[in-house]
A and B are shown apart, each in its own frame.
Chain A
Amino acid sequence: MNKLLKRKLQLFIICSQLLAREGLILLTQQDEDIKVVGNAADDEAGVADIDTLQPDVVIVADGWGGEDCSCADTVKKIKAYHPHIPILVVSPHVENSRVQMALAAGANGYLPMGIDIDELVRVLYTVSRGELTLHPSLLPAILQQLEAEPGGKSAVSNPDDLTQRESDILSALSRGLTDREIAQQLFISVRTVQSHLSHIYEKLHVHSRTEAALIAVQHKHE
């Protein structure tokens, strides 16, 4: 049994704006399995509290501090002290550079501000399990940017070698869906999706879902 299910998911929220922070606390605590154990207005206060409280997930809400304000620094500071604690960034800024900076800093998920509360809660659980979660609207752009980077091409593998089911899964993967979302969409178990993924990696000679998704995106453009 997942250890997180034995008790409430403990959440810590960092957000510079009081109203937005209070709003996030109220909304996330509507879920009976989530408990906001602490909150802070900035990373300095946040890091100290996180050290004491040891939450399961930290939300870093970005975007009210103007264009110069970046959540990447906050993520980096928290990860420096607590590398094992998953961090979810919620931000109105969905530019590739911002998302990439946050991910490079160690964020485990990135969501645009326009999501609804159900989606936020679902992603919190996914991130708490250590899965990397990007909003589906962000992933294609990120993959295209990766593809455009020097050395980003890895066209030695061909998705045509895959079975129909594996192609369906790869296509869903390139749209940024998590294992669970793919499973629900295809009405199969998560373990079956994971089993298909390992076959896909083997056939495409890749080691991660990002690489596999990159090949899917490349293939779509050819």
Chain B
Amino acid sequence: MRIFTGIKFSSPTLFVNDLAGYPEIVITTQPNDQSTSRVAVLGVLADLHGEAVQYDLKPLRKLILAIQPDLICAEIQWVDWLSGNLAAAPRAIRETIVPLCRRTDMVIIPVGGVASMEFGATEADRFIKTRLIRVLNGLQRISWAVVNQPAAINSDAYSFCCNLTCAVELNLIGKTAKKVWQEANDTILKNILETISRDPGRRVLVTIDCRRRQWLVKQLAQTPMLDMVHYNEL
């Protein structure tokens, strides 16, 4: 049994050592035939406020292939999924997760809420706010160039920095942005829970903007209908 950020994990597991950069990947060997779904949340780098960020997607691809969940809840809006236009989805989802799912038995569930937080300067009308947001964006851009491994993106330290930056930016932009952000979080949570109710007993990987990860993990961990695990133990 391992403990990650206060959540207990217990499952029959198999160590996989053949993945470069992931010596400690652990995946279950047995299908989950119980009625309780196993759920893991994997934070991915989102596009930086409308600006696509270039980073290496190969580690993420390897990780998803190693995990091979039954269902992948991805931050894609329903309308975008139905229309086939994934331009608004994060690059990691658009360029790695969706293509992978198309060629394997993993099924994508679009769980995205309202449009992602746009940190435009419309509300940040003051000069100092705009400057600050630019600096924060720059810092995030630099950090993403360095921290592009799933393990690092999902580490507690990085999540803390990410959440702090996000909170500061939200405060700078104003109440509307905060409200939109929280509404999106709520919709995503509701859609995930609906997915689990529709198809219980499955291995579900939630791939989400890393800035939403901690909040979502906390909410899902409080839900009795699922078994919350670390993505390495799904």
Residues of A that sit less than 8 Å from B by CB: 1-2, 5, 33, 118, 121-122, 125, 179-180, 183-184, 187-192
Contacts and interface: CB of A to CB of B under 8 A. Distances in A.
A152 to B, nearest CB: 32
- How many residues of B sit at the interface, in one of the four size bands? 20 to 34
Task: Give the most central of A1, A122, A189: most B CB within 10 Å.
Answer: A189
Nearest to A33: B103
Contact of B102 (A122, A179, A187): A122
B199 A189 contact: yes
Interface string B88-130: 0000000000000111110111000000000000000000000
Interface stretch (B63-71, B133-141, B206-214): B63-71
Contact of B66 (A1, A33, A180, A192): A1
Given A187-B109, A187-B199, A188-B199, 18 more contacts: A1-B27, A1-B66, A1-B68, A2-B68, A122-B102, A122-B103, A180-B107, A184-B107, A187-B195, A187-B198, A188-B71, A188-B107, A188-B198, A189-B107, A189-B202, A190-B70, A190-B107, A191-B202
A149 B104 CA distance: 36
A183 B108 CA distance: 9
Q: Which A-B residue pairs are the 4 nearest by beta carbons?
A: A189-B70, A190-B105, A125-B103, A188-B199
Task: Give the most central of B101, B104, B109: most A CB within 10 Å.
Answer: B104
B31 A191 contact: yes
Given A1-B65, A2-B68, A180 B199 contact: no
Contacts of B68: 1-2
